[in-house]
């Protein structure tokens, strides 16, 4: 098998785009002139910048969704249908007062509020360890092209190694997503929650969260041989999983579930490591792939 992930130094030496090299040299000179490397708190500053971009992306995503909701609820019938759905899911009272479950749903900003709320309230994560949880919620986050599970020549999902507990939780998650779609469709609000679940990199995230695998091994793992995916997509997915862990921690705190809170802490610790969260990755003279 050919190596799919190349260190940055190899990429630069092999590139045929001279303009890219000029841009990199120019950026390097600008960084040297600002004495960034001499800052004693450079790691903290990069972490603050990373969090800023995460929350800014979340704000823009929520603002876009808010505008979409406004445009999609122009009619009284649609609005009333959404209220009925929220009441049936016990997010609202019959007097349109937000319940505790509704407050929990408002904590999630990833566009999957209903699914993530049921994840908490139906205790789907119970009995899973941290690596299994990371793997399961990757299916909510990962937005890559799905493989065809029914195609015998492209059966990466069947080849993935998952634990029996993780497989059981996966099936429960699918059923919950299906029920949510069915409920909304009944009231003529069409959603595709089940269709948007993507389990293609579940085993990859499981291995990463276990802490025994280096990132370069992840990119050359046999479970990726059927999937066309770039390393940047894997990195972004892991970072978004960590972000969802924060939302789930807040949800656990809201409902007083200390066990879930501690579990999500462990998930974050398991995935937040190595090159994926290295603040100086793009500014180092020599890159070491972990």
Gap between the Cα atoms of 238 and 142, Å rounded: 9
Within 10 angstroms of residue 257's Cβ, the number of other Cβ atoms is: 20
Tokens describing residue 289: 């792939």
The per-residue pLDDT of the chain, averaged, comes to: 81
pLDDT above 50: residue 159: no
Given this model, what pLDDT does residue 244 score? 95
For residue 247, give the 3-state DSSP assignment: helix
Gap between the Cα atoms of 26 and 198, Å rounded: 40
Gap between the Cα atoms of 253 and 260, Å rounded: 9
Describe the crossing of helices 42-72 and 231-255 by its angle, rounded to 10 degrees.
Answer: 80
Gap between the Cα atoms of 84 and 4, Å rounded: 49
For residue 99, give the 3-state DSSP assignment: coil
Average pLDDT over residues 14-38: 70
For residue 92, give the 3-state DSSP assignment: strand
Q: What's the CATH number for 111-277?
A: 1.10.3380.30
Q: Which of 82-96, 185-199, 207-221 is least confident?
A: 207-221
Gap between the Cα atoms of 70 and 79, Å rounded: 10
Average pLDDT over residues 239-253: 95
Average pLDDT over residues 21-30: 75
Greater pLDDT, 3 or 139: 139
Q: Quick: pLDDT tens for 6-18.
A: 455 555 555 556 6
Given this model, what pLDDT does residue 15 score? 55
For residue 189, give the 3-state DSSP assignment: coil
HSE value, Cβ hemisphere, 13 Å, CA-based, for 170: 20
Gap between the Cα atoms of 75 and 72, Å rounded: 8
Q: Do 227 and 289 form a contact (C-beta atoms < 8 A)?
A: no
The residue ranges of every structural domain in the chain are 111-277
Gap between the Cα atoms of 47 and 186, Å rounded: 45
Tokens describing residue 148: 């065809």
């Amino acid at each position: 098998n050919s190596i799919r992930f190349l260190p940055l130094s190899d990429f630069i030496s092999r590139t045929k785009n001279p303009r890219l090299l000029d841009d990199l040299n120019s950026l390097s000179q600008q960084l040297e002139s600002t004495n960034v490397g001499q800052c004693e708190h450079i790691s903290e500053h990069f972490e603050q910048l990373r969090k800023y971009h995460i929350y800014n992306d979340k704000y823009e995503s929520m603002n876009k969704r808010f505008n979409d909701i406004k445009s999609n609820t122009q009619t009284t019938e649609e609005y009333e249908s959404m209220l009925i759905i929220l009441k049936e899911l016990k997010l609202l009272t019959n007097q349109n007062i937000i319940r505790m479950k509704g407050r929990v749903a408002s904590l999630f900003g990833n566009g999957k509020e209903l699914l993530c709320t049921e994840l908490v309230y139906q205790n789907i994560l119970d009995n899973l360890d941290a690596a299994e949880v990371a793997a399961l919620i990757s299916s909510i986050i990962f937005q890559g092209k799905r493989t065809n599970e029914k195609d015998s020549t492209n059966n990466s999902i069947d080849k993935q190694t998952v634990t029996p507990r993780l497989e059981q939780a996966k099936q429960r998650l699918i059923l919950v997503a299906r029920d949510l779609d069915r409920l909304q469709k009944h009231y003529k609000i069409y959603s595709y929650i089940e269709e948007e679940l993507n389990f293609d990199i579940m085993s990859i995230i499981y291995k990463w969260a276990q802490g025994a695998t280096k990132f370069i091994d992840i990119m050359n793992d046999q479970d990726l041989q059927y999937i066309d995916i770039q390393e940047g997509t894997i990195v972004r997915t892991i970072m978004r999983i960590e972000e969802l862990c924060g939302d789930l921690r807040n949800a656990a705190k809201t409902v007083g579930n200390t066990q879930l809170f501690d579990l999500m802490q462990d998930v974050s610790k398991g995935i937040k490591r190595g090159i994926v969260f290295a603040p100086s990755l793009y500014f180092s003279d020599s890159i070491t792939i972990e």
